[in-house]
Structure 1
Amino acid sequence: MLPRRTYPATEGGKSPVTVKARKRIAAGAVLLLIAGSLAWFGSRPTNSAKPEGGPPAFLTQGMPIMSRPVELTFLAGKSATSASSWDDVLVWKHYAGMSNMRIRFQLVPFESLGETRKLMLATGNYPDAFYAGRLTAAELMKYGKEGVLVPLEDLIDKYAPNIRALLGRYPDLRNSLTMPDGHIYSVPSYYDPDFLSMLIGTPLWINRKWLETLHMPEPQTTDELYAYLKAVKERDPNGNGVADEIPYGSIGINVLLHQLKGAWGLGNRGLANVNVDWDEKSGRLRFIPADPAYKELLEYVHMLYAEGLIEKDIFTIGSGEFYAKGALGVYGSAVMPNPFTLMKMTGYVGAPALQGPHGDRLYSHVKPPLAHIGAFAVTNKNKYPEATLRWIDYLFGDEGSKLFFMGVPSVSYEETPDGELRYVEPITASPDGLTMEQALTPYVTWLGGSYPGYARAPLFKGSESLPESLAAAEKVKPYAVKEIWPPFNFSPGSLGTEITSYVQSMQYKFITGEVPFTDWDKYIGNLKMIGLDSYMQQYNEAFQAYSRSK
C-alpha cells in the first residue's frame, strides 16, 4: 500500500530483510499482544490535563481546537502491519501539538475487535470514541437509540466543513449514514468513487516471471488459471530443483471466492452485501450461497484445494506468516494489496477478469465507496464532542489528509514543485531492508485500512496508487460491476449471525472435502430451517428502503 521503488534482485528471490529487522518485527508482534490485552482489561484513562487559568475552551476555527491541552481515550482497531503502540507515531504526536488534543489509543487487533467492542458496549466500559472501530449498522442503531453514541448531524453542520462538503457531494453517503431514526452516529471510511484501484483493494496477482518461465500466457479463463496453478506445482518455475512453490496463497479463502465468483455471474452488485446480489432472471434479491452457481464455484475451489494448488494452511494462516512466506518468493499467485509493499516482491501482474465455464466474465470484487459505515463514533462519555468532531473533520480535508496519509513534510515525505507527494528515501529504500509498510510504521497508522477518512488520489500514496495496481484496475475495468450497492441499514440480529456462521462452516467443509457435494440439498434445507426465507424478507425490506432513499 505504498509507492513503489525497484530493488535489485536478490539471490533465490529472497527478500533482503536483515536479522535485526526480523527481530524487530517479532518484538512488535509481542507488543501487539500486550497492547490488545491492555485494551481488554486496562482501566480507562481520564482527562488528566489541568491547565492553569480555568477549564480549556473549545475553539471553533483553525488550530488549535482547544485553548489548553486535553486528553481523550479512543478504542482503536489495529492491523498487524501498523505500530504496536501509537503513542510515539509521528502523525499523532504532531497532530496533538497542533490541536491541543492528546489521544490515548487503546489498541485492539482487528481479529478480536468485534468481541472487545461488544463487551465494552455491553458492560458500559467504553471509551470517549471508537476509532477504526468497525461498528456495524446494527450497533449504530442500537447504541444510538440508547444514547450511548452521540448524534452527529447537527455537529457536522456546525463544526465539520470537510465532512459536510463530502455529504453534500455524495448524497448517497448521507443516506447511508442516516439511521432509521433520522440521526447520524458515525463518521465513515470513504473512498473516491472514481478511484477504482482503491475500490478493488486486493487484486489477484500472478507471478509474471513464472508465466514467462513456463511459457504460458496470462490466464483469461478459470480453466487457464487451473492450468497455470498446476504448472507451478509440477514444473519447478523457480528452478531450484525443490518443490517449494505454492501455486496460490492468501489470508483466508474468502478473498479467493470473491475474486472468482464473477466468473459464475455472482456478486453483481459488489462486495458490501457479500452474500446477496440481484438475480436478473427472477428480478429479485438472490442469496448467493444458496445458488447453484455458487455450488459450482465451491466445486472448482475444492478441486484446487484437493490437488494441492492452494496454500495448505489457507484457513488458519496469519498475516505475519503469509507475508514472511511471500518474502521468500514461493507464491505463484496471491490475493493481497500488493506483493511489493508487503513482501518486497516484484514481478507480479494483476490478473484479468476471468471468464467462467458458462461464459460469464464479471469482475465483482469491487467495494462500495463507503468502505466502513462505523469507522468513527463519539460516545456519551466524551466531555468534548464538538472538539472531537473537529479533530476528525480536519483529517478529511486536503491538509489533514496529507498529514494522515503522508506524515510531516521533510520528515516522512516531500512535495515536488508540481505538487506530487513522495515518501522520503529512508522509507522507499529502507537501509534496514524493511518493506515500505514496515518502514512507515513510525510515521503513520493508516496501514491495514478501516480508518475514518477520505482516500483519494493524489493525496493517498498507498499500494492502490502504484503503477501496477492502477494497471490491474484498468485491466478489469470493462468487466467491473456497474451498480455498486452500499451496505444496507438493517439488523437481522441473531438470525443473521446464525445464517452467516452456518454458511462459513459449510463453505470450509465443502472446500476441504469434509462434506461431499452430494449433501448440497441437505445444506439448502438446513438454511431454510434456520430461517433463510425470513432473513431474505428482512433484507428485501432494507433494500426497498435503500431504493426509496435514492
Structure 2
Amino acid sequence: MRNKKWLLLIASLIVVMFLAACSGSDSSDTDSGEEESNETDSSSGDEESERAASSADNVNKEGFPIVKEEIDLTFFTGKYEPNLDDYEETLVFKTYAEQTGVNVTFDEVPFGTLTEKRNLALASGEYSDVFYSARIPAADLYTYGQQGIFVPLNDLIDEYAPNLKAVMEKHPDIKKGLTMPDGNIYSVPSYYSPEFLPMLIGKPIWVKDSWLEQLDMEEPKTIDDFYAYLKAVSETDLNGNGENDEIPFSASNVNQIVNSIKGAWGLGTRGVGHTYVDIDPETDELRFTRTDDKYKEMLEFVNKLYTEGLIDQEIFTMDDSKLNAKGSQGVLGTAIVPNPETVFTDQDDYIGLGSLEGPHGDNLYSHVKTPLVHVGAFAITDKNEHPEATLRWIDHFFSDEGAAFQFMGIEGETYEVTEDGEFEFFEEITNNPDGLTFDQALTPYVTWMGGSYPGYVQEKYFKGSESLPSAIEVGEKVAPNAPEEIWNGFNYTDDELDFKQTTGADLHTYIGEMEAGFISGDISFSEWDNYVEQVKEMGQDEYLEVEKAAYERYQES
C-alpha cells in the first residue's frame, strides 16, 4: 500500500514540475503564464482539500478500529538503548495495530545520537510521518511549526483527541507549556501527574544500604555525611573480593551528579527544568546560577570527589548501559538511576536519599523534574497524509484504559488487577525466572523504559521503578524539602529564540566546556574569575533579560 502511495506521489510531482516548466518556458507570454500558474495552484489546492477530506472520512470518531481502511505510518523514534529493536513487534504495539488498523513502522534512533539525527532529518527534509519519543525542544517545535513542517494541532485536538483535551483541562499547565508564541500547539507531551512525586524525582541518589551497615554508618543526611560515606567506600573492600574495585559514586553523566547535589548549596529552586536560571530565595528575583559563588563551591566539591577517585573515573564517557552493567557487578556504592532493583541484576540492597544539607544550611532537593517533562514527545509532520487518525492513535494513551495498556500491557497476559483494584505485573516480570532485571523482562511487551514517551503518567497505572516501595519511600523523604514551585519550560518569541539559538547556544557550550574542565581538574579554579568575566562578556546580562521576559509571560498565562 505504501509503495503505491509513493508511486502516486512521484507521479504527481512529475506532473507539477512539468507544468511549472511549461509556464516558465516563454517569458514574453506573461499574462498567459500567470493564468496557467493560478490554475495550477487552484488545482493543487483542490487536490489537497480532497485528500484532507478523504483522510478525515476514513476516521472513526470513536472506538476501534480507528480507521475504516488500514493505513501505514512511519515514526522517527527515540529509543532507550536497552529496549528491544522493532517496537512494532512488542506486545502492546502489535496488539494496537490489530485493534486500530494503523500500521506503524518505528524507525528507532538511540537516545545517544537522537539530537544529531533528529536535527539532520529536519534540516534535510528526510523525515517521517511522526516524531515519536523524539525529545523535540520547544524552540524547534516553534521554528519548524512556523515553517509548516509540524502540523498545528489546536483544531485537531478539539475534534479528535477528547482524552488529551480532558487531561489538559484537568492540568492547565499543559496547555500553557504546549502553546507556542504564535498561539499554536504543535505537539503531544509526556506528562507526569504532579501528585506522583517519585516520578518527578526520576533518578534519586541511591546508596548501598548493606555497605552502610558494614561501615557502621547512618544514612547520609548532610553533604559532609555523604562525603564521609564515599571516602569510606573507597578505602574498604566491602564486596570482599580482595580487590580495590569498589566505585563510590557513578551516574550516566556528570550533569546528573551536579543537578542532584546542587540543592545542598540552595541552587535549583524551581527544579531541573531550568538549569541556568532560578529564583534567588533571598531577593525573590530571577538569577543566573552558573556564575554564582555558591555554584563555584558546588563545583569545587564535585572536583574534590573526582580528583580523590570518589566519582567514577569514566563519568565523562558513561552511558546507561555501562552504568547498569557496573551496577550489576555489585561494585557501586552510590548510583543515580531510576531504581537499582529494576536496572541492576540481583542488587536490591539500596536506599534512596532525601535532601542533603549543605555547608551554609541549605537543604533543598533540587532534582525534581517539570510535570511537562517532554513538550515535544510526539509531533505530526506535513508528510503525514492521515493527521486525524494519527492524533486519535496517540490520544488513546491519555485515557485510563490506554494508560493501563501503554504501561502495563494486557490484563491476563502481563498483569492482573487485585481485589482492591491495584494493578500488578505477573511474577515472571517482577521476579524473572531467567534472572532478567525488571526492565529486561518488560522489553518484549512495552517500550516506555527510559522515558520520553508521549503519555500521561499516573501512579495507578504506572508500575515502573518509580512505583516500587523503595521509590515511594524516597518521595516521602523528599517532599518536605522539594522546591515550592516547579517550572515548566518557557516559550520564546522569534527575537528571543534567535538570541537563545546564537548567543545563548555559545554561552551554553562555553559554560559546559569550562565546567567539565573545572570538575576534571584540567582547569584550575584560579581561573574562575576570568571565566565569570568571559560569561558576562558573552552576554550573561542579555541572557537573563530574555529569561525574565519569558518568565513574565509564563506567570501571566
Pair in the same fold by TM > 0.5: yes
- Identify the residue that residue 168 of structure 2 maps to in structure 1: 167
Quick check: 1:47–1:70 contact (8 Å CA) kept in 2?
no
Structure 1 segment 227-306 matched on structure 2, within 5 A: 227-306=228-307
Quick check: 1:213–1:237 contact (8 Å CA) kept in 2?
yes
- Identify the residue that residue 326 of structure 1 maps to in structure 2: 327
Bigger-Rg structure (1/2): 2
Local SS of the residue matching 1:375: strand
Q: CA offset at residue 281 of structure 1?
A: 2.8
Between Structure 1 and Structure 2, the one with more helix by share is: 2
Which of 494, 504, 514 in structure 1 is aligned with 2:512? 504
Quick check: 1:46–1:72 contact (8 Å CA) kept in 2?
no
Compared with structure 1, are the counterparts of its residues 46 and 544 closer, same or farther at alpha carbon in structure 2 (3 Å cutoff)?
A: farther
The CA distance in 2 between the partners of 1:505 and 1:47, in whole Å, is 48
Local SS of the residue matching 1:111: helix
Q: CA offset at residue 526 of structure 1?
A: 1.4
- Identify the residue that residue 192 of structure 1 maps to in structure 2: 193
The CA distance in 1 between the partners of 2:322 and 2:487, in whole Å, is 34
Local SS of the residue matching 1:474: helix
Q: CA offset at residue 88 of structure 1?
A: 1.0
Map Cα deviations across residues 11-62 of structure 1 (whole Å, 9 max, x no partner).
Answer: xxxxxxxxxxxxxxxxxxxxxxxxxxxxxxxxx9786899xxx998211111
Aligned CA-pair RMSD = 1.7
Q: CA offset at residue 258 of structure 1?
A: 1.0
The CA distance in 2 between the partners of 1:46 and 1:527, in whole Å, is 56
Local SS of the residue matching 1:130: strand
Higher relative contact order (CA 8 A, sep 6+): 1
Map Cα deviations across residues 256-300 of structure 1 (whole Å, 9 max, x no partner).
Answer: 111111100000011111121012333421111110000000000
The CA distance in 2 between the partners of 1:121 and 1:158, in whole Å, is 28
2:445 is the alignment partner of 1:438? no
Q: CA offset at residue 237 of structure 1?
A: 2.1
Local SS of the residue matching 1:505: helix
Compared with structure 1, are the counterparts of its residues 343 and 385 closer, same or farther at alpha carbon in structure 2 (3 Å cutoff)?
A: same
Map Cα deviations across residues 283-323 of structure 1 (whole Å, 9 max, x no partner).
Answer: 42111111000000000011111111111101102222211
- Identify the residue that residue 19 of structure 1 maps to in structure 2: none
Range with greater deviation from structure 2 (169-178 or 279-288): 279-288
- Identify the residue that residue 531 of structure 2 maps to in structure 1: 523
Structure 1 segment 174-213 matched on structure 2, within 5 A: 174-213=175-214
Tell me which amino acid in the other structure corresponds to 2:540. Answer: L
2:380 is the alignment partner of 1:368? no
- Identify the residue that residue 34 of structure 1 maps to in structure 2: none
Structure 1 segment 16-415 matched on structure 2, within 5 A: 57-344=58-345, 345-415=347-417
What is the count of residue pairs matched by the alignment?
Answer: 503
Local SS of the residue matching 1:182: coil
Compared with structure 1, are the counterparts of its residues 427 and 59 closer, same or farther at alpha carbon in structure 2 (3 Å cutoff)?
A: same
Compared with structure 1, are the counterparts of its residues 169 and 235 closer, same or farther at alpha carbon in structure 2 (3 Å cutoff)?
A: same
Q: Structure 2, unaligned stretches of length 5 or more?
A: 9-53
Map Cα deviations across residues 484-533 of structure 1 (whole Å, 9 max, x no partner).
Answer: 11111122112222111111111110011111101001111111222222
The CA distance in 1 between the partners of 2:389 and 2:441, in whole Å, is 32
Quick check: 1:86–1:92 contact (8 Å CA) kept in 2?
yes
The CA distance in 1 between the partners of 2:197 and 2:277, in whole Å, is 22
Quick check: 1:66–1:100 contact (8 Å CA) kept in 2?
yes
- Identify the residue that residue 450 of structure 2 maps to in structure 1: 448
The CA distance in 1 between the partners of 2:240 and 2:72, in whole Å, is 57
Compared with structure 1, are the counterparts of its residues 47 and 391 closer, same or farther at alpha carbon in structure 2 (3 Å cutoff)?
A: farther
TM-score normalised per structure 2: 0.88
The CA distance in 2 between the partners of 1:414 and 1:495, in whole Å, is 53
Q: Structure 1, unaligned stretches of length 5 or more?
A: 1-43
Quick check: 1:342–1:436 contact (8 Å CA) kept in 2?
yes
Structure 1 segment 531-550 matched on structure 2, within 5 A: 531-549=539-557
Local SS of the residue matching 2:134: strand
Map Cα deviations across residues 213-266 of structure 1 (whole Å, 9 max, x no partner).
Answer: 000111111111111100011122223322111111111111111111110000
The CA distance in 2 between the partners of 1:49 and 1:426, in whole Å, is 47
Q: Percent identity between the aligned chains?
A: 49
- Identify the residue that residue 35 of structure 2 maps to in structure 1: none
Large movers: runs of 4+ above 4 Å: 44-50
Compared with structure 1, are the counterparts of its residues 506 and 93 closer, same or farther at alpha carbon in structure 2 (3 Å cutoff)?
A: same
Tell me which amino acid in the other structure corresponds to 2:530. Answer: K
Q: CA offset at residue 171 of structure 1?
A: 1.3
